[in-house]
Amino acid sequence: MLRLTNVKLPLDHSSSALKQEVIRKLELQEGELLDFSVFKRSYDARKSDDIFLIYSLDVELTAPAHKRCLAQFAGNDSVRPSPDMSYKYVADKPANFPQAQQLRPVIIGFGPCGILAALLLAQMGLKPIVIERGQDVRQRTKDTWGLWRDRELNEESNVQYGEGGAGTFSDGKLYTQIKDPKFYGRKVLTEFVKAGAPEEILFVSKPHIGTFKLVKMMENIRAEIIALGGEIRFGEKLAHLNIEDQQVTGLTLNSGEVINTQHVILAIGHSARDTFQSLLESGVYIEAKPFSVGLRIEHPQSVIDKARFGVNAGNEILGAADYKLVHHCQDGRNVYSFCMCPGGTVVAAASEPGKLVINGMSEYSRNERNANSAIVVDINPAQDYPQHPLAGIDLQRQLEEKAFLMGGENYNAPAQLVGDFLAGKASEKIGSVQPSYKPGVTLSDLSQLLPDFAVKALREAIPEFNKQIKGFSMYDAVLTGVETRTSSPVCIKRDKDSFISINTKGLYPAGEGAGYAGGILSAGVDGIKVAEALALDLLGQARGNVIKN
Ligand SMILES: Cc1cc2nc3c(=O)[nH]c(=O)nc-3n(C[C@H](O)[C@H](O)[C@H](O)COP(=O)(O)OP(=O)(O)OC[C@H]3O[C@@H](n4cnc5c(N)ncnc54)[C@H](O)[C@@H]3O)c2cc1C
């Protein structure tokens, strides 16, 4: 196969145009093209009246044509042999793992990181035990709606906790900017498709699944892990990690049960504040890390579509438009858009009582009236709060508590019109944009919610964003607070080769909570990496430094 990249065609090209373009670009004769498939499809919308599609294709030619093209296009980056992207297991026979039969590896957390780690270990013949504090995805859906509909927070089963992890009620965006030379991202997407995700996630440039489909997929992946001998225990929580001489010896659950093991993958996400505290008390090395705080902004999706796609707004291939914005403030702060959800809703994402935090999600169709995204300001441990590993969590809690109070202490979120926020006055009534947040909003002055530096930065950035997305600073757009869980406020440091904690042997900090991922796909990729590292350790082939004393 040849990988032919950078094939550009107009948005409304005919179904035969792609084939004709392959023949033209590769200068093929009749009968030389046997088959081709789309590897990636993206679009260039920098000029809204001249949007075009860009394809990467895998092309199958007759043997002589293949050979000729390789020679003819040598040195041309857009014609190369297709790389082998199939996943290669580091081990795949249970017999390879003598110790594994005695002490099973344990994975804490069944979010994307824990799921991929568990799946991979199970596929390699190990029989992992997964401990997940939240409930299975069906029960969890009911619990989550309990907050959205009835203002009742379940502290252990909610948007953050439960099967599927934090991304289950989300837009299900599946792209990442991490370097991925071994194509682990492809493995994650392939497993998702096997579990019921639409096949297009393998080839569109910005794939997303939407929350509804994610639920079914989670159940299918769980079934595979169990069929391979894994065990998944919902409603059970890691209470204490048992460590002797800097080696994990097991863990104690909240029920008091002790599980003996020498290998623990810690995939607990960014919201498990009680667990971070417990790990710190057990002596696991943790340090504070930068993250961001801010507000979520809502516009009519039609405004975003028009600004991005002009006359092509509404085109089926383009779908609902997204955006990605960054502004470098005069005082050195950065403001950026985060977790943009086209045609979606703003959701309550609290996991602690008396605290309010929000996020965004969409269905696969992305056909809700509003577009939303977080507009956040970076904060830095060195500059913005005291030097303590968990100081970022204290700051998050303060902001979430304030948001809860400003909302009216009933899980309403404080909200304000963009025009009023920029003018420095509290909003008194909603305008043309209806906020989507459930259970409801309370109009407020959001400058009272965030630290002064963040308010200043947002007031500088929003008008700048309007230069890129016309209508971004429209008076009636709605701001809702507060966004605090953009990424983990801590890093649980691990060795870069063995992926083992720098001071606790047998502990594999992983995924978003440990500071090694920032989204569904990168968390899944990290799950694969730590599962491989653990398998290699069991095989006596651990790479890199193990403990730094
Ligand atoms: C509403 C929302 C929308 C999002 N939208 C997107 C999106 O569209 N695209 C994207 O890429 N990312 C999105 N994200 C972020 C994404 O969900 C996370 O980056 C990703 O889930 C991180 O994966 P993880 O496995 O590292 O952690 P998590 O998904 O957070 O999973 C951690 C799991 O560990 C469990 N756990 C924690 N402590 C314990 C304990 N002590 N014992 C047992 N279990 C424990 C938790 O219950 C949880 O299920 C969204 C997040 C939210 C909240």
287 C-alpha to center of ligand 1: Å? 20
CB under 8 Å to 208, separation ≥6 — which residues? 171, 172, 173, 174, 201, 362, 364, 366
242 C-alpha to center of ligand 1: Å? 24
**Is residue 276 assigned to a domain?**
yes
Q: Name the pLDDT band for 398 (thresholds 50, 70, 90).
A: very high
Predicted model pTM = 0.94
Mean pLDDT, range 496-501, rounded to an integer: 95
Burial of 274 (0-12, 13-18, 19+ CB in 10 A): middle
> Angle, to 10 degrees, between the axis of helix 184-194 and the axis of helix 211-227?
90
Q: Where are the beta strands (DSSP E) in 1-140?
A: 2-10, 33-44, 52-61, 79-81, 106-108, 129-132
Nearest CA to ligand 1 atom 41: 238
Do 497 and 446 have their domain in common?
no
Give CA–CA dist 217/333, Å, rounded.
Answer: 39
Neighbours of 79 (CB within 10 A): 19
Give CA–CA dist 144/23, Å, rounded.
Answer: 53
Q: Name the pLDDT band for 98 (thresholds 50, 70, 90).
A: low
pLDDT at 436 over 80: yes
The CB of 173 under 6 Å from ligand 1? The reply is yes
Do 154 and 236 have their domain in common?
yes
The CB of 500 under 6 Å from ligand 1? The reply is no
Do 261 and 172 have their domain in common?
yes
List the 413-417 sheet strands across, edge first: 326-328, 334-341, 370-379, 291-300, 478-483, 413-417, 441-443
Closest ligand 1 atom, residue 175 Cα: 11
Closest residue by Cα to residue 313 from 207, 171, 436, 469 = 469
**Is residue 91 assigned to a domain?**
no
168 C-alpha to center of ligand 1: Å? 8
The CB of 218 under 6 Å from ligand 1? The reply is no
Closest ligand 1 atom, residue 341 Cα: 8
**Is residue 525 assigned to a domain?**
yes
Residue to substitute in 107, 154, 161, 211 for testing ligand 1 pocket (most ligand atoms within 8 angstroms of CB) = 161
Length of the chain: 549
Do 418 and 522 have their domain in common?
no
Report the run of H or E that residue 302 belongs to, with start and end.
helix 301-309
**Is residue 86 assigned to a domain?**
no
Domain boundary among 483, 508, 524: 483
Do 422 and 496 have their domain in common?
no
List the 2-10 sheet strands across, edge first: 33-44, 52-61, 2-10, 79-81
User: Which tokens sit at 70?
Assistant: 């390789």
Give CA–CA dist 535/96, Å, rounded.
Answer: 9
Closest residue by Cα to residue 211 from 194, 201, 229, 197 = 197
203 C-alpha to center of ligand 1: Å? 25
Quote the domain boundaries for residue 53.
Answer: 2-81
Do 449 and 538 have their domain in common?
no
Amino acid at 116: L
Mean pLDDT, range 352-374, rounded to an integer: 92
* pLDDT for residue 172: 73
Q: Kindly report, residue by residue over 457-471, the tens digit of the pLDDT.
A: 999 999 999 999 999
Percent of the chain with pLDDT over 90: 84
The residue written with tokens 């441990």 in the block is: 381
**Is residue 89 assigned to a domain?**
no
8 A C-beta contact, residue 264 and residue 108: yes
190 C-alpha to center of ligand 1: Å? 20
* pLDDT for residue 102: 65
User: Which tokens sit at 38?
Assistant: 């789309």
Give CA–CA dist 380/263, Å, rounded.
Answer: 33
Do 352 and 451 have their domain in common?
yes
Number of domains in the chain: 3
Do 294 and 358 have their domain in common?
yes
Amino acid at 528: I
What distance lies between CA 491 and its chain's CA centroid? 17
Answer positive or negative: Cα dihedral of 195, 197, 199, 203.
negative
| Least reliable range by pLDDT among 101-115, 197-211, 307-321, 396-410 | 197-211
Do 192 and 63 have their domain in common?
no
**Is residue 60 assigned to a domain?**
yes
The CB of 209 under 6 Å from ligand 1? The reply is no
